[in-house]
Amino acid sequence: MSKYVNVTKMSITLNNKVATELNAIAQELNEKKSHLIENALMLYFDMLDEKLADKRLKEVETGSVKPLSAEEVWKELGL
């Protein structure tokens, strides 16, 4: 059985400067490049989640979006 479970193999293109830095860091830390890229992306996604939350909060504060109450959500879901 493969040790790779629930993974997707991808091919990416990086500019030379980023690729050189990735190679150097991977070698110095004795880490796989894919592991470093995955960790970097997870941190980046966390930052984007915060950015999206701030955007949505501003939309609620300015009145361009009206949030639903819990009761409205439950009613919509038939609960």
Quick one: CA dihedral 39, 44, 47, 51, positive or negative?
A: negative
Give the pLDDT of the chain (79 residues) as one tens digit per residue. Answer: 457 688 899 999 999 999 999 999 999 999 999 999 999 999 999 999 999 999 999 999 999 999 999 999 999 999 9
* The model scores a pTM over 0.75: no
DSSP 68: P
- The per-residue pLDDT for 5 is 81
Q: Which two tokens stand for residue 46?
A: 């966390």
Q: Which of 68, 64, 65, 60 is closest to 76 using CA atoms?
A: 68
